[in-house]
Structure 1
Amino acid sequence: MSHLTHTPSSPAVFRIVDLFAGPGGLDVAAEALGHRVTGIEWDDNACETRAAAGMDTFAGDVRDYRAADFPHAQVLTGGPPCQTFTVAGHGAGRRALDEVLKYIAQLHDAVRSDETPWHEVEGTWSGISEELRLKAAEADTVKALKREVEATRSVTRKAVRKNLAEHGCSTEEIEIALKTLEAPLALVRRDADLKSLFDGLVSLEKSLDAHRVRLEELGDERTGLVLQPLWWVIERSRRPGLVPYEAVVLEQVPAVMPVWEEYEKVLATLGYRTRTQMMHTEAFGVPQTRRRAVLMARFGKTDVPELEETHHRYRPGGVPTASRDADRTDTPLWGADEESVGRRKRRRPKDPWVSMEAALKMAKDIALDLPDLDLPDRPAFTVVSNYGTGGDPAARGRRDHDTPSSTVTGKVSRNRLINKATNTDLPRFELAEAGVLQTFPVAYPWRGRDRSQQIGNAVPPRLALHVLRHVLEPELSEKEADARLEQAVAKLENWRPPSEPAKIRRREDLEGHPLTGR
């Protein structure tokens, strides 16, 4: 049942299963478009928020469920937890990326032929899963050993400090000795215990280094998670008795783009038309600068064109463009060159990017009708980030009220707000305000612990709304698409939670669910 003020009209209602669903960023956007979402989420805090928001939720690890559990789902979405991937260098990030790409290639080989029996395809996945399980188990053992060594090192360092202090060493001399792992030679010659302590420290550091190297070699358990959406698509495409998803939408941080590009190759083999795109959130009406790597796919012969930006991108020192003149000075999208950008014909002029001031003013106006929400008046302000910039931790990033916010993270509640007129501190962002900067409705009911983290980790609903409309309703004309977006944005902004929370389901509750067919 919808919790929107008005029942939305929709060309078609899709049933969506959302992996790693978080607090409901995609769900509330889909609801504004009239679609139905069932999310899978392991974090209890996010599940509390989802329940209060009336979102249909199965709690637990995505790996404990499978595509066959939800045969009536028509669309797969998700944002698997990210790890540090990098296409440069030979460090842990490069190794993690190479490992993921290796597994994707194995899965691709398994599905290249339509004649490959399902049990062989499933066997490939089982082999990958078992390899990852064994690595995770060994990593747990290594982590435990590492913690033991760290505890012993801490005790040894205290003993060294005490011994050197008794020998009359200054605080600075002690710190240098601990950093270099070398005690003054004269003291070592006189004190066998001190020599033994430093020999022990050297040995402990070598042991810790060995454990760190081994952990990097074993990789990150999130490797298996980033493969889950691909396996769900494969299972729906090749498992006897199931049919392919009609559409797939996946999003994550920019570093995951090489993974999505490899996904594309497998999805093409399975009969999908795909598009990857690096999206700037402020270019879709989000009052925040943030980049997301998005994979969009449709099954069959329907192409997925590039999603056109509706708003200007933010540039430091710039001003929001007041006119709706076409902006042809944008930097290319990820993977595009200047020539191809110049050839693209923009269908419509762009709107100005949305500032924090405009978003918070709108939220305060809506909150006047919400008895339990009293948002503060916000004079002209500057946000001083909790993070440094340009590699300097002390150089805190700054954004003024009339610009989009910097990327909203789990530390958004730590950002300082300074009155521009008086240079005095203002109250920090309320949770509702932080949610609004992510384009959640001002009435969204944040619950549980780590609420700032929930907000920072979520997909911005306004971005999700654009992507879902684009992928699920390709048949709409430009005029119809604009009307759909305008209607959905209004419903998103004015969304209200249900009077009663939704039930959080567990795996044992699959029986009788609309998507299970049981």
Structure 2
Amino acid sequence: MEDSPPAGFRILDLFAGPGGLDVAADVLGHQVTGIEWDTGACATRRKAGMSTFQGDVRRYRAAFFPYAQVLTGGPPCQTFTVAGHGAGRRSLDLVVGYIRRLHKAVRAGDQEWKEIFRTWRGISEELRRKELKAQDVKARKRKVEELRALKRKAVKLRLERLGNSADEVKRLMKSFEDVPRNLDFPDDELDGLLKEFSDLNNEHAVLKSRLEELGDERTGLVLQPLWWVIERSRRPGSEPYEAVVLEQVPAVLPVWEEYAKVLASLGYRTGTQLMHTEAFGVPQTRRRAVLMARLDRAALIDDVRLRPGDLPIVSETHERYQPKGRPASRSKAPFTEPLPMEPPKASLESPKAPWVPMETALRRAREIKPELPERPAFTVISNYGTGGVSEARGRRDHDVPSATITGKVSRNRVVLKGTDEDLERFSPAEAGVLQTFPVAYPWDGNDVSQQIGNAVPPRLALHVLRHVLEPELSGEEARTRLKQATADLEAWEPGKPVDGRKHGDWKGHPLTGR
């Protein structure tokens, strides 16, 4: 007699996107509800049969969903992707400071919910004031940009009228971009235009700096999952989540590390990990920073506070991809590296499989959906430049993993290998497959490429969810479970489309109890 699968959890997914984590949870037997604001992503979710509340996460509260057992999510953190470089570093420091304030309130207030809530309300009000100021600054910045564009056009026209050649005009216009400086031209009209252009450049720089000081409006969003965990753990009458899983770009790892300290003080076993997607069977090189937490009820009973980092890492099942001729490199930025952890006691350690190339993933997809195009040996030419050179487009051949799938995936050229002959570009179904969505995933709504690029790869989510939610499985049991879940993910088909919900539409939903 076969062992029955582990019991399913009721999962609430914040910033759920088109359903990357949700479809992985579905094949593992869990029940997922997502909150997502993007109209296009919500259209895809509805068509895929994914329960969805559409709207801003900040309008919802953990108390609205008392029957959710697990909290997951990927708050938008694009503002941190330039961490270490001005605005990104400042935004990172800002949000870490807010997390530490919350942590101090949790530790000092212990069971005093009013004091903890007062701290959160103060942070929320502070962020709201900054957001309102930022809106005013952005409006002024847009106006300056409009005026600057008009002035630039006037400068160009004047240069042409003064008899400069097209090449001279181009060279001079490029040199003017770095104004301010003392300008002195024999033509009074041109000199006046350039002075006005310089003043607008100066004002634009000041406004840009001011926006960086105020921070991004998404700063408040990255704090939301933490507050939901605190509310469920400290609010009288609430039950803490059994588990928490959060993921984002590598630059967010310091945020997850601060989260882990707070969650540890709330009785969770925690761990953070920088995961290479191709090392988990995704036919794409991509890195994601993941926070994992599992409630330790013994710690709650004994009032024991655990150290962050005591949850074992997720074992890699595939080799990492290393381009030929390129030496292994290590980021110099300390905040992009994972915390050191002890290896898991019951790991999935076994000989690692080779990474999965694009051609293999697309061939498997064609076996399920024969109408996908047969592709000869091909090369994908990225829409992005490499090494800071916009003209130097990155290239990946068919027999290696894809480069990171972004929201510009539809712009990537696909050419016959060894030539410059264009082939058909990737369809949404194919791009989704490279992100490890089922080939039958029903993409819908606007900007499907952006939906695909923003999503967490479902196969990566399979590994993380299985690891956090099914720790009782042994190494061999876990391998068998993952193998079956991976096959189920590839063959997954959408069920009946569902209607979306809005804020306040609680009646009859299994997580609300109303």
TM-score in terms of structure 1 length: 0.89
Query: How is 1:150-299 mapped onto 2 (pairs within 5 angstroms)?
Result: 150-175=145-170, 176=172, 178-179=176-177, 181=179, 185=184, 187-188=186-187, 191=188, 193-299=189-295
Q: In the alignment, is the contact (CA less than 8 A) between 2:346 and 2:475 conserved in 1?
A: no
Aligned counterparts of 1:330 and 1:139: Cα–Cα separation in 2: 38
SS at match of 1:426: coil
1:456 match: 453
For residue 375 of structure 2, the aligned residue among 363, 375, 378 is: 378
Aligned counterparts of 2:80 and 2:376: Cα–Cα separation in 1: 41
For residue 201 of structure 1, report the CA deviation from its aligned partner: 2.1
Aligned counterparts of 1:77 and 1:262: Cα–Cα separation in 2: 17
2:475 match: 478
Gap change, CA 1:376 and 1:209, over 3 Å in 2: same
1:443 match: 440
For residue 196 of structure 1, report the CA deviation from its aligned partner: 3.4
Q: In the alignment, is the contact (CA less than 8 A) between 1:83 and 1:220 conserved in 2?
A: no
- Identity rate of aligned residues, in percent? 64
Aligned counterparts of 1:307 and 1:22: Cα–Cα separation in 2: 23
1:80 match: 75
Q: In the alignment, is the contact (CA less than 8 A) between 1:17 and 1:76 conserved in 2?
A: yes
1:37 match: 32
2:388 match: 391
Gap change, CA 1:17 and 1:346, over 3 Å in 2: closer
SS at match of 1:425: coil
Is 1:317 aligned to residue 324 of structure 2?
A: yes
Aligned counterparts of 2:99 and 2:349: Cα–Cα separation in 1: 36
For residue 379 of structure 1, report the CA deviation from its aligned partner: 1.2
Aligned counterparts of 2:407 and 2:78: Cα–Cα separation in 1: 16
Gap change, CA 1:240 and 1:403, over 3 Å in 2: same
Is 1:69 aligned to residue 64 of structure 2?
A: yes
SS at match of 1:298: strand
Alpha-carbon displacement from aligned partner over 1:66-90 (angstroms, at most 9, x marks no partner):
1111111000000000133379756
SS at match of 2:430: helix
SS at match of 1:297: strand
Aligned counterparts of 1:14 and 1:234: Cα–Cα separation in 2: 20
Letter in 2 for 1:431: P
2:304 match: none
Alpha-carbon displacement from aligned partner over 1:458-498 (angstroms, at most 9, x marks no partner):
00000001100000000111121112111111111111112
Letter in 1 for 2:395: R
Letter in 2 for 1:14: F
Aligned counterparts of 2:82 and 2:164: Cα–Cα separation in 1: 47
SS at match of 2:395: strand
Query: What is the count of residue pairs matched by the alignment?
Result: 490
2:302 match: none
SS at match of 1:510: coil
Letter in 1 for 2:404: T
TM-score in terms of structure 2 length: 0.90
Q: In the alignment, is the contact (CA less than 8 A) between 1:86 and 1:94 conserved in 2?
A: no
Aligned counterparts of 2:132 and 2:350: Cα–Cα separation in 1: 54
Is 1:507 aligned to residue 506 of structure 2?
A: no
Name stretches of at least 5 consecutive residues in structure 2 with no aligned partner.
Answer: 300-309
Aligned counterparts of 1:466 and 1:180: Cα–Cα separation in 2: 49
Aligned counterparts of 1:26 and 1:387: Cα–Cα separation in 2: 27
Q: In the alignment, is the contact (CA less than 8 A) between 2:81 and 2:249 conserved in 1?
A: no
For residue 107 of structure 1, report the CA deviation from its aligned partner: 0.3
For residue 395 of structure 1, report the CA deviation from its aligned partner: 1.6
Aligned counterparts of 1:401 and 1:476: Cα–Cα separation in 2: 36
Alpha-carbon displacement from aligned partner over 1:386-431 (angstroms, at most 9, x marks no partner):
1122222222111111111111111111111122266522111111
Q: In the alignment, is the contact (CA less than 8 A) between 2:185 and 2:191 conserved in 1?
A: no
Letter in 2 for 1:490: A
For residue 363 of structure 2, the aligned residue among 358, 361, 364 is: 361
For residue 517 of structure 1, report the CA deviation from its aligned partner: 1.6
For residue 166 of structure 1, report the CA deviation from its aligned partner: 3.3
For residue 250 of structure 1, report the CA deviation from its aligned partner: 0.4
Tell me which moved more, 42-51 or 161-170.
161-170
2:415 match: 418
Gap change, CA 1:161 and 1:509, over 3 Å in 2: same
Q: In the alignment, is the contact (CA less than 8 A) between 1:87 and 1:97 conserved in 2?
A: no
